[in-house]
Structure 1
């Protein structure tokens, strides 16, 4: 059956402009995204036309500077947009989050000349980005990456290596790539902006995944891809610091998407429970099920409050890395538990593809893995509390 249109969430938004923005997003979600979500996910179809519409509507560059085509929106607002999109279809919400992540390096560490040349197209020109950090042998241990960038004649660079688990791999118009330009460890890594059609760049067949089948995830190969030095972002050796900075913000995007998926699952469970009758009354009248719904709703509200608290710290230019890790950990664990409970509420129907909750459950799992596994988030939080581990 088609996905239920996202139910309005009572949001506390800082401005009338933000309220109008959320209304626009809800309209797009209800008209263009939710009605096709189940069919297109089942077919493994990526909705590129939706991303074109989002770009034309000014929704692909919300947290960035309007001077370069962005929306000048605080993260507090941008994340609530992601939540609305993810509630309609996670492929879209997560795709916007990944695109924003791919823009982060240039927007925050690029030169004025680089930003003026590339950001307008990246933020509002219909382009779609990919973020290339992980590799087949370096996932959680990202500082051990092996993709190399070697400087050649005239100051240009040649990139060689393979990136793995890349969202939008094979369809992205540009890639932010982290490559080794120096010795071992974090200090030998540099960031580059690589065109998606660069000679020598190719993608493997998309991975066959448990969920999010409409979002292509693939290995991306760099076979001596040559780019000029004016596409190097930041200083040589600064790339890992740039990557960590991007991931702090990206984790908040994943947290918001997770709350969106959980909210969609709760909405479906409530609608089913109030309409399904057993023993002569709606199953929502039974205390055991009512308590389950109450727990689901409470977890969602707590997760939303947690990611918004971290976003407000970021907007105030205060440290937020610990809170971002907490939000990513709690919100994605919440999405997993809430979607499992939603399947239980629907019983046998929940286990079938006739209702979307089984898809929500499959999709929720990946959110505990991407942008740093939840085990890594616990390590990050513990380091803020107790310092680095002794060796």
Structure 2
């Protein structure tokens, strides 16, 4: 293994807190170097953790004693951009912000809005199947990938999909790797479909006190039954609303994107149909708001350990985000910890940030996992120090697909070389 790939500098304290890497950090800058690292690790029986920008070290995994860590941080850049076909091929270490900045020169974008876009990479976003509040219209990472290059544990390179939008016949192999947390292969190239940057954007905010939350719930359902096409319907708890817009109330964020007249028509409709108790505001700078919103969530680069932070991703039926966020507010008001939360009333995914001492954070996570289960949903721990993750079932209960995924892992990586114990069920 070439010496220029190896960095044995001691890890920072924050990195050690979250595990999922080793003190031997390897920084390949080409696919050939990735193949070399993976092949030699597999042949020598070494355990290799795969990371990209390093924002998700607290996401999954109960292992901190890997032999080597392959970081894709320096394996970045644009490979190919076909403006007319609206596709881009990019290396995995490219940050979301870098990618969007490049595409903006051509009035195009990738319709993904994961948290921490300034440091989160496209490789990590795809490996975790991340998304943000605009998932309602644009979907998750899985909906934007049309092709990839992947290095298997034995060094074999495969291509899934292609470089044009309509390319799939039969099973879409991309789906196998997206969201698998790097346990099946190392993604070295990603081709994404693009959209034009919208001509006009708006962010309508409706705030209500808790006693009027039922009316806001009914109004949210009315929007989804109407001809409106919101990009997001995100509910904020009062604590998160206070931080973002200085209003200690529940807040419904309605993002709109279209030509100016269509957006203005929808704004008028909302004003005419909103609950009487709701205060309506149109944000003067939607892009600035969403930038602030997406940088709120702690990750392993920003969580420096002043207190314990945990982040939950909760999936429920779409309107069940309302009772879930009410439960978060109730726990917060008990005073033992701080909870800030938001929920997508259109897609049912919520993000819950829990801050406090170790015991209270763990107890809150256990309670909210049970609460989500009672709603016929699930709760996954997206960020937490490794010692606390060992006290929890961070992926929740395994479903019927676990056995299938386990058999695929055993076939593709029989030596458990790649990201051992990083995914659901200890895969």
TM-score (norm 1): 0.25
Task: Tell me which of the two structures has the higher relative contact order, counting C-alpha pairs closer than 8 angstroms and 6 or more residues apart.
Answer: 2
Q: By percentage of residues, which structure has more helix?
A: 1
Q: By percentage of residues, which structure has more strand?
A: 2
